[in-house]
């Protein structure tokens, strides 16, 4: 079943755009809908208020958030959690963590999003 799930994850992709004026709660909601996992944004080492936009987060952090990036992150279920988190950091300069659907437990960076959603 593991091999079948991995093959299915390569074809089961969800892509959504992330705009600087989009609220963090909207981005997180779209992520949860696509992958059945929670996406948590941070300002520094503290969880960011979900009512902030990505652009507003830039003003509240000591770390520069690249809200003017014209790159789009394309996330697929076959990607590892660690790779997704690094993509947010390198593309937008913001720290994110991926947690279970309830948002209580961090997901291991070596799991794919598809496998993590099935736990």
The pLDDT tens digits of the residues spanning 63-112 come to 555 555 556 778 888 899 999 999 888 887 789 999 999 999 999 999 99
- Tell me if 88 sits within 8 A of 81, measured CB to CB: no
Higher pLDDT, 24 or 54: 24
Give the whole-angstrom CA distance, residue 113 versus residue 101: 11
Q: Tell me which residue of 39, 21, 20, 19 sits closest to 29, measured CA to CA.
A: 39
Instruction: Quickly state the pLDDT bin for 4 (edges 50, 70, 90).
Output: low
Report CA-CA distances (Å) from 26 to 22, 33, 50: 7, 10, 8
> Looking at the predicted structure, is the pLDDT value of residue 9 above 70?
no
Give the whole-angstrom CA distance, residue 60 versus residue 1: 45
């Amino acid at each position: 079943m593991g091999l079948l799930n991995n093959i299915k994850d390569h074809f089961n992709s969800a892509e959504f755009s992330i705009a600087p004026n989009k609220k963090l709660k909207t981005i997180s909601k779209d992520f949860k809908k696509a992958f059945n996992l929670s996406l948590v944004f941070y300002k520094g080492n503290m969880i960011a208020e979900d009512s902030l936009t990505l652009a507003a987060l830039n003003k509240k952090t000591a770390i520069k958030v690249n809200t003017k990036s014209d790159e789009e992150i394309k996330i697929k279920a076959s990607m590892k959690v660690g790779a997704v988190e690094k993509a947010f950091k390198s593309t937008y300069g913001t720290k994110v963590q991926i947690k279970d659907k309830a948002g209580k437990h961090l997901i291991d960076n070596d799991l794919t999003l598809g496998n993590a959603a099935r736990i």
